[in-house]
Amino acid sequence: MIRLGINIDHVATLRNARGEGHPNVVNAAKFVMKNGANLITVHLREDRRHIKDEDIKFLSKLKSIPINLEMAANFKMLKIALKYKPNYVCIVPEKRKEVTTEGGLDLRKNNRNILKIIKILNNNKIRTSLFINPKKNDIRLSKLLGVKCVELHTGGLSRKVKAKRNISKDLKNFITCSEYANTIGLEVHAGHGLDYETAIILSKVKNIKEFNIGHFIVGESIFFGISKVIKKFKKICR
Ligand code: PXP
């Protein structure tokens, strides 16, 4: 069974469109957990365009809900993580002007900070992960940086599936990368741009233990309701 992490950033996007409190992010977290999610993922972006510090504060009070905080590799963010102590932290690259996280981390840049941040998070018993491109060398570097998990960026594969292009090479690469990560002791997660079709494809990759899915779930829920959408993903994760 693959764990299903639901990214609720876009519940906050919708809330922020009105600048008031609805739809409420904490209620959304409780609701999706009741309907089968295994964890809640939130990205506290530096420009706070969706999730805000207050959201992290209230979400982290829900002790029965595992929270996966996605954050950039800097010490301001680390301070917030240590204040609210989410169960998990996934370090992601961040560019102010991007619409969404465009690719995995460049581990040759900023790796001193990443190394320090991971060490502190590990010491605080927060599960650590790095959001990386599906490349063997990035997996090897992740291990050297002391992280416990890697989340492989599935955006490229998802785009190809949507464009009906051949993905046999990409899929083979995901299988190779996941196997390699597993053999060197890293837990493998996958996320970005996933929908039913891509989740079905990747659910066949033996070593993937967790999916993190946001935009499609929130979008699809407009038509079918979030509980039905989660049920469909849970079937795929089985
Ligand atoms: N995983 C990570 C690390 C992310 O940064 C994001 C959001 O960009 C997701 C998963 C979810 O991606 P999506 O919203 O496309 O499902």
Per-residue model confidence (pLDDT) at position 101: 72
The CATH number covering residue 151 comes to 3.20.20.70
Is residue 200 a part of any domain in this protein?
yes
The tokens for 20 are 């008031």
Domain count along the chain = 1
CA 73 to CA 128: how far, in whole Å?
12
Is residue 235 a part of any domain in this protein?
no
- Per residue in 50-67, pLDDT tens? 999 999 999 999 999 999
Is residue 189 a part of any domain in this protein?
yes
Q: Ligand 1 within 6 A of 7 CB?
A: yes
Is residue 115 a part of any domain in this protein?
yes
- Per residue in 17-57, pLDDT tens? 999 999 999 999 999 999 999 999 999 999 999 999 999 99
Question: Which atom, in ligand 1's list, is nearest to the CA of 189?
Answer: 1
Give me the sign of the Cα torsion angle 171, 139, 45, 21. Answer: positive
Is residue 79 a part of any domain in this protein?
yes
Is residue 76 a part of any domain in this protein?
yes
| Residue 98 pLDDT level (bands cut at 50, 70, 90) | confident
The answer to whether 126 and 149 have CB atoms below 8 angstroms apart is no
Is residue 238 a part of any domain in this protein?
no
Average pLDDT, integer, range 67-77: 97
Please tell me the number of Cα atoms within 13 Å of 49 on its side-chain side.
10
Q: Ligand 1 within 6 A of 193 CB?
A: yes
| Residue 196 pLDDT level (bands cut at 50, 70, 90) | very high
Residue 97 lies in domain: 3-230
